[in-house]
Amino acid sequence: MPLQVKIQQGLVDKYIAVVEINSTNWWGIAVHRLLGLDLLRFITAVAVMIFHLAFWSWAIPGSTPGQVVRGAVSFENLVAYSWWGKYGVDIFFVISGFIIAYSAANRSLGEFFRSRFLRLFPAAFVCATLTLLIAGIMQLWPEPQLWDRYFRSITFWPYGPWIDGVYWTLGIEISFYLFVSLFIAIKRFTWLEYGTWILGGISAAFIFARIFLATNWVGEMGLSARTGQLLLVYHGSSFALGTTLWFLSSKGITLPRIALLLVCILSSSSSIYLDARGIIGVTKISASALTPVLVFLGAIIALGLSIWFDKSISLRMSPRVANLIRTAGLSTYPLYLIHDVVGAYMLRQLVSAGLNQYIALVTTVVIVVAVSMTALLVAEDALRGYLGQRLWRKHKHA
């Protein structure tokens, strides 16, 4: 029989998770999905896709989508609606901070690592393989480099180059998983809150030092920017922001938590503003660096409201719409992994066939979303089920 377990104490603790260890869903707790969060993830993924296809592909010819499109399109009229999508990644990091704290709270170290592996690897393998096929057809890189990039991608090698530039975020995500796993390993998960203070504080100090003191600690220590990313110096405040939201929603509102939330919001927003100024300078576009900051703040407000009013949203949502939103939320990971190379290739092919570039862009977005929500999600789920059964059986006999 299924074992019913109370998950949390707080705003999101009114839901019961069902754990059923069998051959089909051994890998963990089927926690209640926050519909507002799923919808935000999907909108954010689409914004990142539009950024790469409608802006980065022509603004930076040497970028991954730029190498695929090869000058076939130019969407200068869409700059106001596309360039700020780059910072959807920062929103993803905030969401990850919330979700990982939420899902790790009642898991053993083994369960946590298995759940993370089964979330990351199946989609990465399926999507990287599809990208390998497209990159091979287009001869983006010599064959030895192509295979090297592919294996770096499916093994989550922390340093690039990868089969697609978007894989840069996976190493940072894994660094955060390792950070959270430390508290699970020592069986002091409640100490994660203290760890969040340290993570958010160090990251905020680094960001503010860059802005007000023109000092880059990472560079001065002789470390590469990538190493700084993996150490969560650059994006730690975003993860800490999400984790703090979880503590606020599950453990209660306190002044220290509110203070940390505000520090993380301010530092993350400042980091986005600083980076946006650099993008505007490099691409020579007419835009305000405040735009992505406002989008980011709006996303944080939306995330908070989706958590706070989740029960009301769930009760008023029809089952059909709720299932569609859940599917959209689940599809964001494969959507993120294939939109850059595969999406750019599709866009180029449609334009080369004589289709108007704006119609081609819309068509590409729709097709990539549809494929991510159907075929790729099915393939990912099938591989996850297979690996889950194999790993669980191995675990039982160990």
Is it the case that residue 10 has pLDDT exceeding 60?
no
Least confident of 184-193, 214-223, 355-364: 214-223
What is residue 232's predicted lDDT score, i.e. its pLDDT?
A: 97
Q: Which two tokens stand for residue 331?
A: 């599809």
Strand partners, 3: 19
Q: Which two tokens stand for residue 336?
A: 């993120």
Is it the case that residue 183 has pLDDT exceeding 80?
yes
What is residue 24's predicted lDDT score, i.e. its pLDDT?
A: 34
What is residue 392's predicted lDDT score, i.e. its pLDDT?
A: 60
Tally Cβ neighbours within 10 Å of residue 16: 11
Is it the case that residue 286 has pLDDT exceeding 60?
yes
CA angle 127, 132, 134 (to 5 degrees): 100
Q: What tens digit of pLDDT does each residue of 120-164 get? A: 999 999 999 999 999 999 999 999 999 999 999 999 999 999 999
Q: Which amino acid is at 382?
A: A
Q: Could you tell me the pLDDT band of residue 311, with boundaries at 50, 70 and 90?
A: confident
Strand partners, 18: 4, 30
Task: Round to whole Å and give the CA distance between 59 and 57.
Answer: 6
Task: Round to whole Å and give the CA distance between 284 and 371.
Answer: 34
Task: Round to whole Å and give the CA distance between 341 and 361.
Answer: 14
Three-class DSSP category at 19:
strand
The label of the residue with tokens 């020592």 reads 186
The alpha carbon dihedral of 205, 206, 207, 209 has a sign of positive
pTM for the full predicted model: 0.89
For residue 319, is the peptide bond before it cis, meaning its omega torsion is within 30 degrees of 0? no
Task: Round to whole Å and give the CA distance between 239 and 341.
Answer: 27
Percent of the chain clearing pLDDT 70 (strictly above): 90
